[in-house]
């Protein structure tokens, strides 16, 4: 005769399963609440296998080339946690931070071919100290983006900051076009308020602040997935050192029209009001507070020799705008830097690649040698 005990066992099994599901759901809710209330995403972004299980990256993560074992992040915490600057500072190390745009980061260059990489290859020494250069450049032209990075960089005990600039990176209306600035709205607004920058903190280009749900683990799932993917890429990066694939590019334009306007400005217009010198002032304030010298460098540019090259240096800069910019910077240099130089025309045109500021390995090596000599002569005569 068939007993009815199986019904009791069946009910028990279902009650057990429901209890497990309920506990799992409760744990999931609690974890999400903790993520939102305690900002645990920030804590996760501090965790990194770099400089431990794998070497630190020689430049900040950027790009979406899977074959380069790299990706673009929004989190400055996650970016810095992967970088070689996150390792302890050696006793005899003179630490130099190099910030700027994609020319500093090194588009179309391997890590060792970048400006910082080639300056390290010079193996500079001073007394008992060895110079170590850290590439904290980041693509996009915006000194406001540089300022965000600079504020983080001074926490890593630099002895000198090299800040490379060009007029495009100082163009005030374009400062907020940099995605890194837009996606770090709170940090940027703090800088705007602290240093009285002439930038609208309510600009619509800022990504809106996250609501409560957006701060939960579910709301932060993409950022957490990016963090995890970056950790996994670390093993491939550690074995290959590949973080950028140099793709083919079109040569620079050498011929130009007779239109000499620059961002809507014409000769005789007030160019200085369009240059974000106040952001450079803020950088000087940050480095002064940290007790670190600031060396601002106007980076080399491509100089064309084709049609209407008497009106344009290159596709970015009409002569009048760049020459006026040079005068403004020279007049204000002592205001925003401890040292300033402008080796803008030192690299031959054939050493530029896909942008008026991107140089090939040979051009970058020439610049690295000249800049190293200038640095030693100007700051440490």
Q: Residue 183 has what pLDDT? A: 95
Cα–Cα dist 204/154, whole Å: 29
Cα–Cα dist 265/243, whole Å: 39
Q: Residue 6 has what pLDDT? A: 47
Q: Give the residues of the chain that fall short of pLDDT 50.
A: 1, 6-7
Q: Residue 314 has what pLDDT? A: 98
Q: Where are the domains of the chain?
A: 39-379
pLDDT tens, 157-197? 999 999 999 999 999 999 999 999 999 999 999 999 999 99
Q: Residue 216 has what pLDDT? A: 72
Q: Residue 11 has what pLDDT? A: 55
Q: Residue 1 has what pLDDT? A: 47
Residue 232: which residues within 8 A CB-CB, separation 6 or more? none
Tokens of 70: 């790299």
Architecture of the CATH domain 39-379: 3-Layer(aba) Sandwich (3.40)
**Maximum distance among all Cα pairs of the chain, rounded to whole angstroms:** 106
Tokens of 359: 């140089």
Cβ neighbours of 278 (radius 10 Å): 17
Strands of the sheet containing 93-99, edge to edge, are 125-126, 129-135, 93-99, 160-165, 294-298, 339-341
Global confidence as pTM? 0.90
Tokens of 110: 């391997």
Q: Are residues 193 and 166 in contact, defined by beta-carbon separation less than 8 angstroms?
A: no
Q: Residue 43 has what pLDDT? A: 75
Q: Are residues 345 and 303 in contact, defined by beta-carbon separation less than 8 angstroms?
A: yes
Tokens of 278: 């106040």
Q: Residue 323 has what pLDDT? A: 98
Cα separation values, 103 from 116, 288, 351, 363, Å: 11, 26, 13, 11
Cα separation values, 280 from 156, 197, 338, Å: 20, 10, 12
């Amino acid at each position: 005769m068939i007993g009815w005990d199986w019904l009791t066992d069946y009910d028990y099994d279902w009650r057990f399963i429901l209890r497990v599901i309920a506990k799992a759901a409760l744990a999931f809710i609690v974890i999400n609440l903790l993520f939102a209330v305690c900002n645990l995403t920030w804590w996760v972004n501090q965790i990194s296998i770099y400089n431990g299980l794998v070497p630190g990256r020689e430049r900040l993560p950027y790009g979406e080339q899977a074959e380069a074992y790299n990706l673009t992040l929004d989190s400055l915490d996650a970016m810095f946690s992967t970088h070689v600057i996150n390792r302890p500072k050696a006793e005899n190390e003179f630490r130099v931070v190099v910030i700027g745009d994609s020319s500093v980061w090194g588009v179309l260059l391997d890590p060792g071919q970048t400006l910082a990489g080639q300056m390290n290859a010079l193996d500079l020494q001073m007394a008992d100290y060895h110079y170590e250069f850290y590439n904290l450049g980041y693509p996009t032209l915006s000194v406001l983006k540089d300022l965000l990075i600079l504020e983080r960089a001074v926490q890593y005990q630099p002895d000198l900051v090299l800040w490379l600039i060009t007029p495009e990176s100082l163009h005030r209306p374009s400062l907020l076009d940099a995605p890194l600035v837009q996606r770090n709205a709170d940090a940027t607004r703090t800088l705007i308020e602290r240093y009285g920058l002439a930038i609208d903190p309510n600009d619509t280009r800022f990504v809106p602040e996250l609501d409560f749900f957006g701060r939960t683990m579910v709301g932060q799932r993409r950022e957490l997935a990016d963090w995890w993917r970056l950790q996994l890429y670390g093993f491939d990066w550690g074995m290959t050192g590949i973080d950028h694939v140099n793709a083919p590019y079109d040569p620079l334009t050498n011929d130009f029209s007779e239109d000499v306007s620059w961002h809507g400005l014409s000769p005789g217009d007030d160019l200085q009001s369009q240059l974000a010198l106040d952001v450079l002032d803020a950088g000087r304030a940050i480095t002064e507070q940290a007790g670190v010298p600031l060396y601002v460098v106007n980076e080399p540019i491509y100089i064309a020799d084709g049609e209407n090259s008497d009106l344009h240096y290159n596709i970015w800069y009409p002569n009048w705008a760049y020459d006026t910019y040079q005068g403004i910077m020279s007049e204000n240099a002592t205001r925003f830097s401890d040292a300033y130089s402008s080796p803008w025309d030192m690299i031959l045109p054939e050493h530029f690649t896909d942008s008026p500021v991107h140089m090939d390995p040979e051009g970058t090596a020439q610049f690295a040698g000249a800049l190293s000599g200038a640095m030693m002569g100007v700051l440490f005569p």
